[in-house]
Structure 1
């Protein structure tokens, strides 16, 4: 059984927990220990899982990921007003081969998904997104993947999988369960024009760092539609994580990345959350801990709502345009927006029922000005292709 490969949380972390106040996260988490074994998954909301595999790193790692350092920073944070049950499963160490590690990641994540437990993966390198994505095989047909990343990570054709090329493998590998890929925070000078063109051809969504930093709410509908979210910490400014040669002077601030993480938590579709490419220094570990805190905070505020189930809770707006008649819905409760896309047929929609695409109030205003929102157009084209 794949769970047999999990290494318990280090004794120094458990000793650290003993000194924490009763309200600290570490005192309220069910932890995998040598003495007590694995925690029970029943009723768990999230499960923390360290993956220390780094052999496929694009820039070779000089040292192993210090997951214990991240845990100590997370455990000493105080609980919010949460109703979440937290478990910490410990770590997956490097297997005999990288494929062995991938297999264990896939099996453990699949088991958590089956149990409706949200894995929070702390991965040394971002190629761990690939086995995490494969964990959905047989569980969910079509996956929307969102990467918060300065790069698209398509890599070079025929290149072996690495932390800079894992997306190529996700796109081409069978079975192909990827419905949509969205990038939040790409920086143009890190991405070849061919990669930008590929994103356009596949009708994938990409949002530049400057656009998101100027209006963080643009990220909310993207994350609301995601099943799986991965954060490459290299999308964060170098100064925010105590400077490093592998990081850029431009990127998200700590506040911005925590807000994005909270949006991911609020999305009731997100069932897997990963953070990758961390640095082993206290400032980086503190920021990772706070990103996790905000993700769990977001989960606490999840609201399942659909214009098709509780029509009284929504206002419907029909906007005639030259090309199409667009139908928007606005929630009275959360003030979130959706737009109907008649071409998307997914397993969770009723026959002949248009799919609902999360959008913004600005998309509605654009439609009123006869400008069809780009996100609607891409979803519409993808449904027919």
Structure 2
């Protein structure tokens, strides 16, 4: 079915134990898969597989298949493949190197006319203040500066202020996007969970991780998330019922040397924790409020706010005021936290993040 786009030439190490990740991948029929691992950069993806296949399996009955590597590592070639996966309800996990290939994750959603929310975890904002020429394009440019089907929402985590154009603050404010610089992101990772839960795809650049823990990076910086923290963010992404695409990029491998092996192990660990989150999903993404508990809060700026809580996961959402509710129904319940509910119920005002979420309508 996916043969026109993929090649399967990876030779796994022999003798995988029944408890191993690789054994489960090799035993899963590709036609039954709900999650598909795809290499966007073949040689690098195979190094990551060498690490990933040896991990223990702890993902229950999650159906994961390795579909192989992209035959041509280009954005335009990848778009129809990813579109086919999205339409089929299969979640792709993409192992990449160049961050520009992450454009395909978004553009494939645009092909199916979806209002798309993007989460980027990166050490810098790979976005131009204004639309850039082809040769100067950054991977978020085609999502944000498109005149047709621009991104509905962007949440950016972990950028370092000295590496990002300060003019982008104005762009984020004007579009009501979310931005959590590295210091704010690390202060309490739990504050990032609602932002990650409110998007359709996540792009994780390995440059967001400390260079000491993933040294084969395309751009080295002394600061960043620890690999453990990045693994927690990957778990949040996987655990979101809404999320339909996940990719890791940013490696600059040289060969089978120690830095490359360590970085490949970091990729494998992040993928493992992402899939761990997928295997523990709660199936409570609220396209409607059915099955949720309603909490009505009086407001100083609106007649009332309506919050919803899922008994299955204890996760929270707030409803966009009905007079502003345009666009897709699935976007009308905005992910939030119990702390957001407490803040609104005690002061009658919305936290800043939710104010910006409502302003997107």
The TM-score normalised by the length of structure 1 is 0.84
How far has the Cα of 1:24 moved from its partner? 0.9
Aligned residues: 350
Structure-to-structure mapping, 1:340-359, within 5 angstroms: 340-342=319-321, 343-348=324-329, 355-359=332-336
Inter-partner Cα distance in structure 2 for 1:199 and 1:76: 41
Are residue 339 (structure 1) and residue 318 (structure 2) matched?
Answer: yes
The alpha carbon displacement at 1:2 in A equals 6.6
After superposition, residues 67-78 of structure 1 pair within 5 angstroms as 67-78=45-56
1:8 is aligned to 8
Stretch of structure 1 that moved more, 210-219 or 228-237 = 210-219
What is the distance in 2 between the residues matched to 1:154 and 1:67?
26
Task: Report the more deviating stretch, 140-149 or 257-266.
Answer: 140-149
> How much does 1:357 deviate?
0.6
Choose from 53, 63, 67 the match for 1:85: 63
Q: Quote the Cα distance in structure 2 between the aligned partners of 1:161 and 1:105.
A: 18
Q: Secondary structure at the match of 2:190?
A: helix
Task: Call closer, same or farther: CA 1:116–1:162 in 2, change over 3 Å.
Answer: farther
Unaligned runs of 5+ residues in structure 1 are: 32-38, 53-63, 96-100
**What residue number does 2:228 align with?**
255
Equivalent position SS for 2:95 = strand
Query: Contact 1:341/1:376 (CA < 8 Å) preserved in 2?
Result: no
CA distance in 1, matches of 2:72, 2:136: 16
Check conservation: 2:291, 2:310, Cα contact below 8 A: no
* Aligned-residue offset at 1:126: 1.3
Question: Aligned partners of 1:208, 1:278: CA distance in 2, in Å?
Answer: 21
Match of residue 290, structure 2, among 309, 313, 316: 309
Note the C-alpha offset of 1:69. Answer: 0.9
Matching of residues 44-59 of structure 1 within 5 Å: 44-52=33-41
**Helix, strand or coil: the match of 2:156?**
strand
CA distance in 1, matches of 2:133, 2:39: 23
Name the counterpart of 1:55: none
Residue 194 of structure 2: aligned partner: 221
Q: Which one of the candidate residues 249, 252, 263 is aligned to 1:284?
A: 263
Is 2:161 the partner of 1:188? yes
Q: Distance in 2 between matches of 1:158 and 1:346?
A: 25
What is residue 22 of structure 1 aligned with on the other side? 18
Measured after TM superposition, the shift of residue 320 of structure 1 is 2.2
TM-score, with structure 2 as normaliser: 0.89
Q: Which residue of 1 aligns with 2:257?
A: none
Alpha carbons of structure 1 residues 239 and 27: separation in structure 2 relative to 1, 3 Å: same
Instruction: Identify which of 257, 275, 278 aligns with 1:299.
Output: 278
> Structure 2: how far apart are the matches of 1:245 and 1:109?
25
Contact map agreement 2:5 2:81 (CA 8 A) in 1: no
Map 1:97-176 → 2, pairs under 5 A: 101-155=74-128, 157=130, 159-161=132-134, 165-176=138-149
